[in-house]
Amino acid sequence: MREIIEELRQERLIGLKGAYSLGINEDLFSNFYPDNAHFIYELLQNAEDVNATKACFSLGLTQLDFNHDGTPFSYENVNAITLAGSSTKLGEDNSIGKFGIGFKSVFSYTQTPEIHSGDWHFKIHDLFVPETEGVEQKRERNHETFFNFPFNHKKKQPSRAVQEIKDSLISLGDNVLLFLTHIYKIEYQLPDGSTSSLERIDHGNRKIEIRVTHLDGSVTISNWLRFEKDVSVWDEREEK
């Protein structure tokens, strides 16, 4: 896999100068997502797209780790995640697109996200360039996909990154799981070691229970009726 990553690295380096000349950089993608730590939702959607059932965030003082049990990366995933606006789910009306521009919002917090999934172990720098140098070849437990986001963005101090991501995680509402099909449990841990989780329990007949375990150990339960219906999405481009 190192050889394939090296080929992609060379291709991306060639296009990097042109991208920067067009103003495509970390600041551009930050402007697309003005909400603090919006990428938390992008990561969850990406995990949902690969049929993950569990997702976990671990926030430290200098980095954020994220892992899920979805289908491991393929070459198409590696190619898509190192391009701007690319997606492995183009043409599907019910998806925001896996590893499209949305993933680039992580570059508001880090300059070198690192990814371990299946046989792929690499980091990304300069938005598009994959790199294996200095990346440990390791296999995650239970073949999980693992992301590491060090807080090394030149315009955002680690303390600010920690606070923004902490606020975003704490604000995850129980209704988040209502809009996900495969993921039924989300867990997160904060720098002080405290943990919280959200879990969806399907009782059948559209009855959904959401169980939230809060940071103080208390538990709240909400009950929902979830209705689903296939809809057609009209695309004006098809008429041209």
pTM: 0.85
| Mean pLDDT of all residues belonging to the chain | 85
Is the pLDDT at 88 greater than 90? The verdict is no
What does the pLDDT look like over 111-163, one tens digit per residue? 999 999 999 999 999 888 999 998 987 665 567 899 999 999 988 999 999 99
Q: Which of 76, 30, 40 shows the shortest CA–CA distance to 149?
A: 40
What does the pLDDT look like over 16-66, one tens digit per residue? 766 666 566 666 555 555 557 889 999 999 999 999 999 999 999 999 999
Give buried/exposed letters for 180-190 (b at 16+ CB in 10 A, else e). Answer: bebbbbbbbbb
| Domains in the chain: boundaries | 2-176
β-bridge partners, 54: 185
Write down the pLDDT at residue 97.
39
- Token pair 């780790």 is at which residue? 65
Q: pLDDT grade, residue 96 (50/70/90)?
A: very low
- The Cα–Cα gap between 176 and 18 comes to 39
- The Cα–Cα gap between 233 and 231 comes to 6
CA 45 to chain centre: 7
What does the pLDDT look like over 150-179, one tens digit per residue? 999 988 999 999 999 999 999 998 889 988
Q: Which two structure tokens, joined as six digits, stand for 239?
A: 């008429």
Domain topology for 2-176: Heat Shock Protein 90 (3.30.565)
